[in-house]
Amino acid sequence: MRAIREQSNRPGHRRRGAARALLSGALVTVVLLAGGCTGDGDGPSWQDGDAESGPKATASITAPAADATDVPASTEIALTTTDAVSTTVEVKDAAGAAVEGELSEDGTSWLPAGQLDYGTAYTATVTATGDDGKPATVSSTFTTMPEPANQVRVTSFLGDGQVVGVGMPLIINFGRDIPEKYRADVQRRMTVTATPAQEGIWHWVSGTEVRYRPKEFWQPNTQLAYKIQTGGLPMGDGWYGRSDLTVDAKVGASVIMEVDNRTKKMTVRKNGKVVRTIPVSLGKPKTPSSSGTMVVIEKLKETVFDTRDAPDPDNRYVIDIEYAQRITWGGEFIHSAPWSVASQGKSNVSHGCVNMSEANAKWLFGQTTIGDPITVKGTERRLQNGNGWTEWNMSWDEYVKGSAIPYEAPADADLASPAPGA
């Protein structure tokens, strides 16, 4: 990003409309007034003799208000222009150091690349240039608020450089419940860039957790970059975002598992090709496996299943497990079960897990990553949403209802430049 970004209004680009007011306050406006018009019977001409000149450009800064104090460190510069061929925005601190940022697609706001410093004076300058090449420039100075005492921590489940499966949701957690009326403001500061571009949206699981998934599974080898620009952002009741957050991750190969209770087999596809069919044993009728689409939540080469606190005495046991892959919070795993090999591919004897031989479990463990999807079908129990990362157990129409911002399907050309909050 640059400290100044030019926005074109030539044919094929949108004219500037009225900006939304991000903060209330005085309107600072500059207008280059044209001289009066004269008529000679052949149509109007400008008094300066340039008959080809169009209307003069104007520029206004609508927020922050001129000389405003206690401005949130997350603030945008809201502006309006009229009859502008190009618009630039420059923001500098009192020492003259430029702040990096970017003008919005519609040219009505400019967002810093990161949160501003607390207790610091800044000057914003907007320059709009019309067809006549004459700039209209307006400046406004404001001061950010002191650092607040109440700050909300923002964290990402994924870290930089992590490789995930094609069903992996992006998961953001907040250290405090975000009131509903602030969620749209927060979501607008959450952007995801996928390369290649893919349609997707954020879904609020609760006031402390929001997740993002694409409309279809991620394409293999997708590069993911997401930014949570919430540093200094008001989050209700005198609380503010503690910091900004950026993550760069990658989607690996497409590994998709499908289990059919009718055949008692798992089909494993890698990048669209069947690479193995594995006999399995699912949950017995008293403890059935869940039917639905789940993803691998965690992988444990060795663990211990200890269910001595289960309410049903028949489900209490302690047993060493190898090559375990969790797929629900309720305790369903894919794992090695050498004790049930005779039943695998024939009958269901597990407590809800997907049992397979040690050899097959070891092989599968080496193929998968966190976020790889598994679909189980034909069992007595339906997967409950929320019992794991159940993003893919919901239709796209259901999923978009969890967005704090009304969903609008993007044009293909827009996929390369996702809008804030998408």
- Quote the pLDDT of residue 190: 98
Give the C-alpha separation, 358 to 378, whole Å: 24
Catalytic residue among 37, 203, 351, 353: 353
- Quote the pLDDT of residue 5: 37
Residue 12 has pLDDT above 70, yes or no: no
- DSSP strand E in 236-297: where? 240-241, 245-251, 255-260, 265-270, 273-279, 290-295
By the 8 A CB rule, do 383 and 290 touch?
yes
Give the SS3 label for residue 273: strand
Residue 330 has pLDDT above 80, yes or no: yes
Across the range 109-131, mean pLDDT stands at 97
What residues does CATH 2.60.40.3780 cover in the chain?
Answer: 7-144
- Quote the pLDDT of residue 32: 36
Per residue in 300-315, pLDDT (tens digit) is 999 977 666 766 766 6
Give the C-alpha separation, 16 to 59, whole Å: 10
What residues does CATH 2.40.440.10 cover in the chain?
Answer: 255-384
- Quote the pLDDT of residue 94: 93
Catalytic residue among 37, 203, 335, 351: 335
Residue 45 has pLDDT above 90, yes or no: no
Model confidence band, residue 409 (pLDDT cutoffs 50, 70, 90):
confident
**Range 7-144: architecture per CATH:** Sandwich (2.60)
Q: Which residue has better confidence, 414 or 232?
A: 232
By the 8 A CB rule, do 317 and 331 touch?
no
Give the C-alpha separation, 66 to 139, whole Å: 9
Model confidence band, residue 30 (pLDDT cutoffs 50, 70, 90):
very low
Residue 76 has pLDDT above 80, yes or no: yes
- Identify the bridge partners of residue 58 per DSSP, sorted by sequence position: 31, 82
Q: Which CATH class is domain 255-384?
A: mainly beta
Look up 353 and say whether it is catalytic.
yes
Residue 411 has pLDDT above 90, yes or no: no
Lowest mean pLDDT of 10-19, 155-164, 377-386, name the range. Answer: 10-19
* Neighbouring residues of 48: CB distance < 8 A, sequence distance ≥ 6: 35
- Hey, what CATH topology would domain 151-253+398-416 get? Immunoglobulin-like (2.60.40)
Scored b (16 or more CB within 10 A) or e, 258-289 reads bbbbeebbbbbeeeeeeeeebbbbbbbeebbb
Per residue in 206-224, pLDDT (tens digit) is 999 999 999 999 999 999 9
Across the range 82-104, mean pLDDT stands at 96
- Quote the pLDDT of residue 35: 35
